[in-house]
């Protein structure tokens, strides 16, 4: 079940393929800072373009791609396929990804192409916990034009606290294996209806050598009128 059960009943998810263009996903988003890649791995807001809201806000997010702890709440195999193109008028820009989740484990493949160069990012994740608190770990590596995109192997640790269907708090840390660069993220969400149909969310990301006042943040309202297509 996506959130701890109170007096509500939750339907288990079934195997389905969710295509971004078939989801009615309305998001109002404000972002502070530049969405530029970092050294070794892209920063939180840049690499999570397909997320549309903070990781803990909308059900299962991208199955551990942003916060591996969310896999603690997956009870059935599931998969998401997403893509985008022509970013900011750049006709040779292309991005797509496949994000798969199993109970307590997940795998993702994310590909980015630009200026004749292509990099493919891979991630394997695992999580454990109970209905209210989950913790997870993932290892992230890349293939293709790694040098052009500045990719290096990294690891991610995450926790997700969901004490009720109406609130969640997540903490995520990503670091290169040599700790030469790292990033920490905190996100929270409030769901007035106790489900994914409406969520108020906010998150804040701070990178190494960035002062707290220059950290990136986002906040907004996410509305998911359709739970997915199966």
N- to C-terminal Cα separation, the chain: 18
Summarize pLDDT for 59-88 with one digit per residue, the tens. 777 899 999 999 999 999 999 998 886 655
| Closest residue by Cα to residue 114 from 134, 139, 96 | 96
Tell me the whole-structure pTM to 2 decimals. Answer: 0.78
| Closest residue by Cα to residue 15 from 74, 77, 98, 104 | 77
pLDDT of 89: 53
The residue whose two tokens read 């997403």 is 82
Backbone phi, then psi, for 129, in 5-degree steps? Answer: 145, -160
Work out the mean pLDDT of the chain and round it to a whole number.
80
Please give the share of the chain, as a percent, with pLDDT higher than 90.
50
Cα angle 36, 40, 41 (rounded to 5 degrees) comes to 55
Tell me the mean pLDDT in the region 1-9. 37
Say if residues 69 and 127 touch (Cβ distance below 8 Å). Answer: yes
> Rounded distance, CA 92 to CA 90, Å?
6
Report all structural domains of the chain as residue ranges with CATH numbers, in order of start.
17-224 (2.40.160)
**48-62, 97-111, 133-147, 207-221: least confidently modelled range:** 48-62
């Amino acid at each position: 079940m996506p959130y701890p059960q109170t007096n509500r009943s939750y339907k288990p998810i079934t195997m389905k393929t969710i295509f971004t263009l078939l989801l009615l996903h309305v998001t109002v988003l404000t972002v502070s800072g530049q969405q530029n890649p970092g050294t070794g791995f892209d920063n939180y807001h840049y690499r999570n373009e397909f997320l549309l809201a903070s990781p803990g806000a909308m059900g299962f997010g991208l199955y551990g791609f942003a916060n591996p702890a969310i896999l603690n709440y997956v009870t059935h195999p599931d998969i998401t396929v997403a893509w985008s193109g022509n970013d900011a008028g750049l006709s040779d820009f292309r991005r797509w990804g496949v994000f798969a989740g199993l109970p307590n484990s997940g795998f993702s493949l994310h590909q980015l192409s630009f200026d004749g160069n292509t990099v493919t990012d891979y991630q394997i994740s695992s999580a454990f916990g109970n209905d209210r608190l989950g913790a997870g770990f993932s290892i992230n590596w890349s293939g293709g034009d790694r040098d052009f995109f500045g990719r290096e192997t990294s690891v991610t640790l995450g926790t997700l606290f969901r004490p009720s269907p109406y609130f969640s708090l997540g903490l995520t840390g990503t670091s290169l294996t040599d700790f030469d660069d790292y990033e920490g993220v905190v996100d929270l969400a409030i769901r007035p209806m106790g489900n994914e149909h409406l969520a108020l969310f906010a998150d804040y990301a701070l990178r190494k050598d960035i002062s707290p006042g220059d950290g990136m943040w986002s906040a907004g309202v996410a509305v998911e009128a359709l739970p997915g297509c199966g």
